Amino acid sequence: MSMNVKVCAFCNKMFKYKGNALCGDCLKRIDDDYTVVRDYLYDHPSASIQELSKETDVDEKVILHLIRNHRLEFAQGTDTGVYCSSCGKSITQGTMCDKCKNKMSDMLRSALPPEMRGQGNGASSERNKGRMHTSDRHDER
């Protein structure tokens, strides 16, 4: 039986892979740091990444990870120092701006055979009705 081993994207420690690019220790630390950063952002919604890091003692790398993975979103107009990976526009969460996400989605949809286009847009898809999706769970929090 082979053991699937990966190197943690944060600490570079080897760990037994269970579906996440981070080891268990880093996942726990990031979850703990998330709570601290989130609570600070509630009281200081226009805080920058640098201010967040300084005031919460959370590494900027962790804050960027939370932003890129849609766990944190900054207020519109806040200079986050995070930019769309496609066009370079300043963004408040994720890896791409809405315009580039829509463009990418349209390109991918157009690559599908005509009979598959339009299926898979979540709740409106007959095939997916009644199923819970990750984005649904996120919106309920």
pLDDT tens track of the chain, all 141 residues? 457 999 998 899 999 998 888 999 999 999 999 999 999 998 998 888 899 999 999 999 999 999 988 888 887 777 777 889 999 998 888 999 999 999 999 898 888 888 877 655 444 444 444 444 444 444 444
Does residue 101 belong to any structural domain of this protein? no
Residue 58 forms part of a structural domain: yes
List the beta bridge partners of residue 6.
15
Give the tokens for residue 91.
């963004």
Residue 77 lies in a domain: yes
CA distances from 114 to 25, 37, 110 (A): 45, 45, 8
The answer to whether position 9 is within a domain reads no
Q: Which residues form the domain of 76?
A: 24-81
Give the C-alpha separation, 12 to 89, whole Å: 30
pLDDT, position 11 = 92
What Cα–Cα distance (Å) separates residue 109 from each residue in 2, 32, 85? 37, 38, 20
- Count of CB atoms within 10 A of residue 65's CB? 19
| 114 in any annotated domain | no
pLDDT at 77: 75
Number of separate domains in the chain? 1
